Amino acid sequence: MSLQVERSVSLKPYNSLGIDVAAAQFAQARTDDDVRAAIAYAESQQLPLMLLGGGSNLVLTADVQALVLRMSGCGIGILSDDAGHVVVEAEAGEPWHPFVQWTLAEGLAGLENLSLIPGTVGAAPMQNIGAYGVEIKDVFAGLTALDRQTGDVREFSLQDCQFGYRDSIFKRQAGRWIILRVRFALSRVAHLNLDYGPVKQRLSEQGIDTPTALDVSRAICAIRSEKLPDPAVLGNAGSFFKNPMVSAELIEQLRKQHADLVAYPQACGQFKVAAGWLIERAGWKGFREGDAGVHKLQALVLVNYGDASGQQILGLAKRIQADIKQRFAIELEIEPNVV
């Protein structure tokens, strides 16, 4: 078997929160054959199989009694280039931001608003990652996944993925599908999404009136760098809570007490509330207890100042959830996967 399996491996280098727990067994899959070998090995050892991408959307609360398989396969290629409409395919293990930068260097637009998001290509569809008005579903051209139940390889269309806000069939059927590679529909003619105010403001400050996709990417990288801590410097899993959807009636009630409430109307008639605003208004921004805390610049980000455990991070998150529910009658949902 070409798959190399190690025992009792610390996962601290493999999760962006920097939580130090051990995997009973650990391996890296660089090919489809490695993935199949890992499935067979885990079954032979009667071990659960846990998939790991970039570890940027993960809270590890205890040692993992499983074969942890890190998807490490890399490779990017252009599948078609027809009148400026370009389909690009990337392997699941490709780091997301370098992949976005590769597309921009190739003169391709579409992913610029998703710049500087941590994680891997294979993990992106699971969460339907999104930022600054763009989600994966907006640029999706298909993906290839392995069905662990049958061993078959299946091609997924946009409709098959059942994308929602930070949601997909892969998240709802957790553990069944192993995403192997993903395809994106990009363009050589930029159709920029500049609806997000801070992006337009940043470009204006730079004197850029007719921005390119690369200009937008650079502006977003600058904004994200100012707002969000670098996991390599301060452990974090990015946005820790989803922006909740609430009724128009509740919004009306809350605005009587909080005129500056940040909420955006949705087509369904509900409102999407900025979770970061709720947490900051409740006084949690900059809070620290031991090595678990809330970032001093971005209330939506929980951080590990050094040796916080997953249980401590999760405990803090639950306290914030309870407080927000009591103050605003809104339930916050944790965005990272808790293991």
DSSP per-residue string spanning 159-185: HHHT-BTTB-HHHHTTTTEEEEEEEEE
Is the CB of residue 161 less than 8 Å from the CB of residue 170? yes
2 is catalytic: no
The full DSSP string for 72-100 is: ----EEEEEEETTEEEEEEETTSBHHHHH
* 67 within 8 A of 58, measured Cβ to Cβ: no
Determine if residue 153 is left, alpha or beta; phi over 0 gives left, psi from -120 to 50 gives alpha, anything else beta.
Answer: beta
Q: How far apart are CA 318 and CA 283, in angstroms?
A: 15
- In 3-state terms the chain splits into helix, strand, coil percentages (rounded to 5) of 30, 30, 40
Distance CA 113, CA 274 (A): 19
Active-site choice (148, 166, 218, 281): 166
Q: Estimate to the nearest angstrom the gap between the alpha carbon of 70 and the chain centroid.
A: 16
Q: Where in the chain does DSSP place strands (E)?
A: 6-10, 22-29, 49-52, 58-59, 64-71, 76-82, 85-91, 130-131, 134-135, 140-147, 153-156, 177-187, 235-239, 245-246, 263-265, 271-273, 288-289, 292-294, 301-304, 337-338
Q: Is 166 a catalytic residue?
A: yes
Largest Cα separation within the chain, whole Å, is 65
Report the SS3 class of residue 292: strand
User: Which residue is it, tokens 């389909």?
Assistant: 87
Q: Which of 16, 115, 217, 239 is catalytic?
A: 239
Token output for 89: 């395919």
Q: Quote the DSSP letter at residue 197.
A: H
239 tagged catalytic: yes
Catalytic residues, by residue number, are 166, 239, 335
